Amino acid sequence: MAPHMRTVTSLESSCSICWLVNDGNTIENVLQIQDTLPLLKLLGYRVHRDSNRSEFPDKFIAARSITRLYYRGSLGGLDQELNSCANLEYFLVEHFRRGLATTVERQPEVFTRLKHIGAVTLSSSEEGDVLRELEPFEGLKSLITIEISHIILPSEDEISMQKYPPNHFKPSQSVFQLLGEKHHSLSRIHVVNTSYQFTAEGGGDLWEQGQDGIWAGRAIPHLSRWDVLNGMLDSV
């Protein structure tokens, strides 16, 4: 391992598993080398095998003090791998991934330190549906920010014209009050506008709770997943 890699604190890896290991080594053997990324805290991870099946970075998380993870693979079928997530404070997945709420609901004790989670892909922007879909996060007592991926669906005419309607999710104060009653630490909701083709469209809205308990929203520019992982919501 090159000497300068000893000071790396953030890493994004998108490749085949064979690019990370060679000569019969496994990722576990590589990570046993103390000089291999000893200070790593932030990890973006999309690593796959020949079958194109995504690998969850549980070995990375267990061997290093990873506190912020952007996982670009499928959440389906994960079980024991999630036990490595106990120290995570940020857990991000891609905007079009479904199953994040189900994953947390299945093993809530693993995610008790989470401060930021997303993106949750809503099936509806109706207030009652939103409250139901966010219920699995009620047990996360440290959670400050929920990121919501709001999919913008065009009409048939707009599909042919390749235009998208400004159908932004803007909840009422009553919804925020209900969320606050169930999620006591929650003080920020980041709504990312995503087209039906699952690409970010025109930034989003950031809703924050003031000291008076009133929530206020404002439009913000598009932030990449890496931007969010690095805490840019704190300064946008």
Domain span holding position 172 = 67-234
Structural domain contains residue 129: yes
- Burial code (b: 16+ CB inside 10 Å, e: under 16) for 21-31 equals eeeeeebeebb
Q: Which two tokens stand for residue 15?
A: 């490749």
Q: What are phi and psi of 216, to 5 degrees?
A: -135, 140
pLDDT for res 30 = 64
- From residue 186, how far is each of 9, 13, 40, 140, 177 by CA, in Å? 28, 31, 27, 9, 11
Structural domain contains residue 32: no
SS3 99: coil
DSSP symbol at 113: T
Structural domain contains residue 21: no
Structural domain contains residue 202: yes
Burial of 224 (0-12, 13-18, 19+ CB in 10 A): exposed
pLDDT for res 159 = 47
Structural domain contains residue 28: no
Split the chain (236 residues) into runs of 10 and give each run's mean pLDDT: 70 63 58 75 76 74 89 83 92 81 91 94 78 91 90 54 47 85 92 67 84 91 90 92
pLDDT for res 207 = 93
* Count of positions (residues) in the chain: 236
Structural domain contains residue 119: yes
Q: What are phi and psi of 173, to 5 degrees?
A: -60, -30
Per the CB < 8 A criterion, the answer to whether 222 and 202 are in contact is: yes
Q: Give dist(CA 185, CA 79) in Å, integer.
A: 27
Overall domain count for the chain: 1
pTM score of the predicted model? 0.83
Per the CB < 8 A criterion, the answer to whether 125 and 150 are in contact is: yes
pLDDT for res 204 = 85
Structural domain contains residue 96: yes
Structural domain contains residue 169: yes
pLDDT for res 166 = 42
Q: Give dist(CA 1, CA 23) in Å, integer.
A: 15
